[in-house]
Amino acid sequence: MSRAVRIPAGPVVDSVEIRVRGRVQGVGFRPFVWRNARDFGLSGYVLNDADGVLIRVCGELTNIEALLGEIRAHAPSLASVQSVEYQRFSGELPKTFEIAESSAGQSNTEISPDAALCTDCARDIFDPFSRRYRYPFTTCTNCGPRLSIVRNVPYDRQTTSMAAFDFCPDCAAEYADPSDRRFHAETTACHVCGPKARLFRFDGKPFSFDQASMLDDVDAALGLIQRGEIVAIKGLGGYQLACDATRADAVERLRKLKHRDSKPFALMARDLDVIKRYATVTTEDEEILKSAAAPIVLLAAYGPDRLPEAIAPGLRTIGFMLPTTPLHALLLRRMNRPVVMTSGNRSDAPQVTDDADAREELSGIATYALTHDRDILNRVDDSVVRIAAGKMRIVRRARGYAPAAIRLPHGFEQAPQLLAAGGDLKNTFCFVKSGAAVLAQHIGDLADARTFNDYTATIGLYSAMIDARPEAIVCDRHPGYRSKKHAEDMSRDLGLPLVEVQHHHAHVASCLVENGWPLNGDRVLGIALDGLGYGENGEIWGGEFLLADYANFERLGTFKPVAMLGGDAASREPWRNLYAHVKAELGWPSFQMNFSSLEVFRHLERKPRTTLDAMLRSGLNSPKSSSCGRLFDAVAAAMGLCFERQGYEGEAAAMLESAVDHDALRSEDEALAYPFTIPSLKETRLPYIEPLAVWNAILGDLVLETPVGVMAARFHRGLARAIAAMCVKLAARDCQAGPRFDTVALTGGCFHNRILHEQVTDQLEAADFKVLTQATVPSGDGGLSLGQAAIAAAKLIENNKTTGGNTSCVSVFQGAS
């Protein structure tokens, strides 16, 4: 069959303007466009501006189409193209294709995360014939620092701490050579012109290392580590403390000097072979370890070799990462053992970034420091991830992930600019601008004054970087939160409305955003399980079943409210929760009558029971809380895993998870799972998860000397079944109407527990629910600010509709949701 083809008289030449949005700056996008435009014989220019990348080209239309095709299909590896728009252009264009100067103007929301050393640069630093042989700051367009060295956008050398270094002729030539992978790479540097690493003693005393056997200062630092020394290392986003992970004496000394009781240490190893001697590495784990983000991956600690117990006391997971920068790769080159690579700070203080602070804070821990002269402008901690239910879950979102912008779902296009202050633990804050959320890197726990200062300073930095002009400030309702106080101050100083958001509703909204749930989507059942958050009527919540959309929620179910004996002390000392549970469920006489033979009875009996009982009776400093986290604490205490004191937040729960016997979890009779029931509260008729029968079962198992691993498995399975049963109960039809929801959103810090996450997901899917979970945003409080922002945006959009855009109606945002 023949078809009439209309052949144009000649090639059609035209001019087109192309706008590319997304993460397209600082990732080699302009050189990529330049090379392709040249190849296709196009003239014109490409530049960075506040909206992304702007391209204006003149040439044959088929070639312009080919360029568009390349942009869509083969963008540079670190780029993330969100949209490509084009229109006819009628202005003047140059005769060749050029990379034009960046134009400033209103900043956009795309700041690139830092990226780990790429394979090409790794080849350079280990090639004795390369001019970058052993150069610790080798980078190219596909790798290197970004967020940690940037003070403004558009991203250019002049807006980073590389501005202090002028190119040598060789680097200048590479930067200008379109065929070079450092063409327009803003961090290009070398031994001659770039930052330098230097090893020194904090006390200023001279020292010498054996020049013959050490290659350079970086290699000499390794020599010290191999000798058992602790060395402070100025890394990418902050100082780190390093020591030989296989030397128990060094690891224990580091714990003591750093005032870090039991929180696990992160490890770094030269390559996968070293990691595999100590941990199980799946193909998925391998991919994540080798990714550009190169986070700490929590791995199962099973391998032919074992590390000292002091690395991760009581846990069967260890956090490993591969070298993330050329400096780390060079440092570990000759090291066939893992190295502790923990944040450079004392106990809960923020990681040190400044050289003077390092001397002050770290000189008591490390004798030597390996430092350099490239300033760290943004503190960026190492990210932490783990796999659960076959998918990577970010536990701490920082280096390599933050602050990649998160598109808000459909319906949020007109969201006003906002600043959400986050929570007080594992804080992150979040800006909303142009339909995207910019979630800052992990800031930390605001109770520490230095972390709080860092928090306010980083808000200022982000505000300048993205040129933020928020129309409202958003915060948690907890009256004691420092983040709330700061939000109130900002709201007053800037004359902006303050939107208060309930803690667990924010968790649910965070999960909805990351799953692209539209603004006008159906309500879902949000299951928010965490330590604690401020509820309604002054209650403390932490195990909630909320029927929710972005703007509103209704509390349909909860965990049993039990006293937090001693208030905040209950969060630190697991036995307090056990005592409160025993008193509330069994009563002391019955506990004594049936279980006095148990060790746990003798431990509890020794506590000041008269005082404790008086507190319980009066409720003084013992508010009731429906916290799932405190239930885990109580159970871990009963099983003798973590009784007296937690060395870090979530330790008891982590130990309970680690204790689980996987054979029992997989194959034990379902009937042995601990039997929670679901009665209703007297006052409110709210259904709740009741652990009475579980306590009898646990204590009975203790009498029978059932292995702890089996008990931990029974607890996780029982709890997952109870959660699913609650969902089935709550979804049940109202009258003739259909089920109230068919989608469940899992969120809250408790879902960082892999076993709970997987068990609950399985149970819910078996009951035909669609299950939404968190992956790219932490389900813990690190994701809170994103949910706060979405809720406030939804309320403001709704309010704008009803008031015709009058945003001065502040009162509707305060008080109840």
Question: Nearer to Zn ion by C-beta: 148 or 515?
Answer: 148
- The burial class, CB within 10 Å (0-12 / 13-18 / 19+), for 292 is middle
Footprint of Zn ion on 127-166 (CB under 5 A): 140, 142-143
Q: Does 121 bind Zn ion (CB under 5 A)?
A: yes
Question: Nearer to Zn ion by C-beta: 174 or 781?
Answer: 174
Question: Nearer to Zn ion by C-beta: 135 or 601?
Answer: 135
Of the ranges 118-126, 411-419, 635-643, 697-705, which one interacts with Zn ion (CB under 5 A)? 118-126
Closest CA to 813 of 490, 408, 474, 478: 474
Contact 501, 483 (CB under 8 A): no
Distance, in Å, from the CA atom of 432 to the CA atom of 492, rounded to the nearest integer, reads 20
- The burial class, CB within 10 Å (0-12 / 13-18 / 19+), for 555 is buried
Question: Nearer to Zn ion by C-beta: 175 or 209?
Answer: 175
Of the ranges 43-51, 80-88, 189-197, 497-505, which one interacts with Zn ion (CB under 5 A)? 189-197
DSSP 725: H
Question: Nearer to Zn ion by C-beta: 143 or 242?
Answer: 143
Q: How far is the CB of 274 from Zn ion (least distance, A)?
A: 23
Q: How far is the CB of 130 from Zn ion (least distance, A)?
A: 12
Sketch the per residue contact string, 65 through 104, with Zn ion: x for CB under 5 A, - otherwise.
----------------------------------------
Q: How far is the CB of 146 from Zn ion (least distance, A)?
A: 12
Whether residue 403 has a cis bond before it, omega within 30° of 0: yes
Whether residue 169 has a cis bond before it, omega within 30° of 0: no
Of the ranges 69-77, 99-107, 113-121, 514-522, which one interacts with Zn ion (CB under 5 A)? 113-121
3-state secondary structure at position 54: strand
Of the ranges 193-201, 221-229, 348-356, 610-618, which one interacts with Zn ion (CB under 5 A)? 193-201
Binder of Zn ion out of 20, 50, 67, 118 (CB under 5 A): 118
Residue type, 652: A
Of the ranges 22-30, 111-119, 323-331, 663-671, which one interacts with Zn ion (CB under 5 A)? 111-119
Q: Does 168 bind Zn ion (CB under 5 A)?
A: yes
Question: Nearer to Zn ion by C-beta: 168 or 598?
Answer: 168
Closest CA to 234 of 328, 338, 364: 328
Q: How far is the CB of 580 from Zn ion (least distance, A)?
A: 55
* Token pair 């466009």: residue: 33
List, in sequence order, every beta strand (DSSP E) within 655-749: 688-689, 743-747
Q: Does 171 bind Zn ion (CB under 5 A)?
A: yes
How far CA 40 is from CA of 43, 63, 77, 183, 369, in Å, comes to 9, 6, 21, 19, 51
Q: How far is the CB of 185 from Zn ion (least distance, A)?
A: 8
Q: Does 730 bind Zn ion (CB under 5 A)?
A: no
Closest CA to 445 of 422, 475, 466: 422
Distance, in Å, from the CA atom of 471 to the CA atom of 606, rounded to the nearest integer, reads 56
Distance, in Å, from the CA atom of 250 to the CA atom of 253, rounded to the nearest integer, reads 5
Question: Nearer to Zn ion by C-beta: 193 or 494?
Answer: 193
Q: How far is the CB of 330 from Zn ion (least distance, A)?
A: 14
Closest CA to 496 of 447, 536, 537, 463: 463
Binder of Zn ion out of 192, 464, 569, 703 (CB under 5 A): 192
Dihedral sign for Cα atoms in the order 432, 434, 439, 440: negative
Q: Give the binding-site size for Zn ion (rule: CB under 5 A).
A: 10
Q: Which two tokens stand for residue 501?
A: 């958001």
Question: Nearer to Zn ion by C-beta: 77 or 680?
Answer: 77
Q: How far is the CB of 176 from Zn ion (least distance, A)?
A: 13
Binder of Zn ion out of 193, 387, 678, 810 (CB under 5 A): 193
Question: Nearer to Zn ion by C-beta: 324 or 483?
Answer: 324
Q: Which residues lie near Zn ion (CB under 5 A)?
A: 118, 121, 140, 142-143, 168, 171, 190, 192-193
